[in-house]
Amino acid sequence: MKIKKNKFIALIPARAGSKGLKNKNIKNLHGHPLIAYSIVAAKMTSGITDVIVTTDSEKIATIARKYGASTPFLRPKKISRDNSLDIEFFKHFINYNIENNLIVPEYIVHLSPTVPLREINVMTKAIKKIKSTPHASALRSVERTSLVPEKIFREKKGFLNGYFPGLNGEYYNLPRQSYSEALIPNGQIDIIKSKNITRGSLHGDKIISFVTKHVPDIDNLKDYQKAEITFFEKRFSKIVNSLL
């Protein structure tokens, strides 16, 4: 396997099926399909040399090509189901490259089309950060949260139980200051080393954090309506229009 050092490609997954919001990856948002925003953001980010959409749908592939992405293959349906794991389409991409004597990039920039509101300078900073941290296995964008995981309960047989039975006593009654700050992955940008995938892992065991502001993740109709009304500025459509 030929791994090209310091090469970054963007991999955008967009399967046809979606239960939360039908056809959400290509649903029209301010004049353009949702996936267009991730494609354009990747194309405008310094350091990313190729933008590839992995999809099981020829319709999505056609739309992706219109906005400048490559679609060298259609992803098999068996790894495009509701319960399919992300690592499966990463493996498929790497195996395709190996089988076709193509170079495997050292870094794969994972961009979800359901997180369309990305800032180009933020993505550029993320690329610089992982390049300057060679021992890292991956980078994940996260945002701070006021939630304290140790204070969250789940219900079992009608009674509340803590999520961390390994902790001693009534740990959930300790002051929140007793616990470390929690960070939630937000999908704005994840950068993964290809060697992780070949070793059977997605992010590896040395994930560096990349803290960003909150970004909207469109998973259902309510998210979509909120994005339509609140989050999107005209300049995003202008960026897409400039590439048509």
Range of the domain at 44: 3-242
Q: What mean pLDDT comes out for the span 70-77?
A: 96
Q: What mean pLDDT comes out for the span 114-124?
A: 91
Q: What mean pLDDT comes out for the span 106-119?
A: 93
User: What percentage of the chain exceeds 90 in pLDDT?
Assistant: 75
Q: What mean pLDDT comes out for the span 168-177?
A: 93
- Is the pLDDT at 238 greater than 70? The verdict is no
Mean pLDDT is lowest, of 80-84, 150-154, 204-208, for 80-84
pLDDT at position 240, please? Answer: 67
Highest mean pLDDT among 30-34, 105-109, 215-219: 105-109
Map the chain to HEC letters: CCEEEEEEEEEEECCCCCCCCCCHHHCEECCEEHHHHHHHHHHCCCCEEEEEEECCCHHHHHHHHHCCCECCCCCCHHHCCCCCCHHHHHHHHHHHHHHCCCCEEEEEEECCCCCCCCCHHHHHHHHHHHHCCCCCCEEEEEEEECCCHHHCEEEECCEEEECCCCCCCCHHHCCHHHCCCEEEEEEEEEEEEHHHHHCCCCCCCCEEEEECCCCCCCCCHHHHHHHHHHHCCHHHHHHHHHCC
pLDDT at position 227, please? Answer: 75
More confident residue, 107 or 229: 107
pLDDT at position 237, please? Answer: 64
- CATH number reported for the structural domain that contains residue 184 in this entry: 3.90.550.10
Q: How confident is the model at residue 235 (pLDDT cuts 50, 70, 90)?
A: low
- Is the pLDDT at 234 greater than 60? The verdict is no
- Is the pLDDT at 233 greater than 60? The verdict is no
pLDDT at position 223, please? Answer: 82
Q: How confident is the model at residue 86 (pLDDT cuts 50, 70, 90)?
A: very high
Q: How many domains is the chain built from?
A: 1
- Is the pLDDT at 18 greater than 80? The verdict is no
Q: What mean pLDDT comes out for the span 40-59?
A: 96
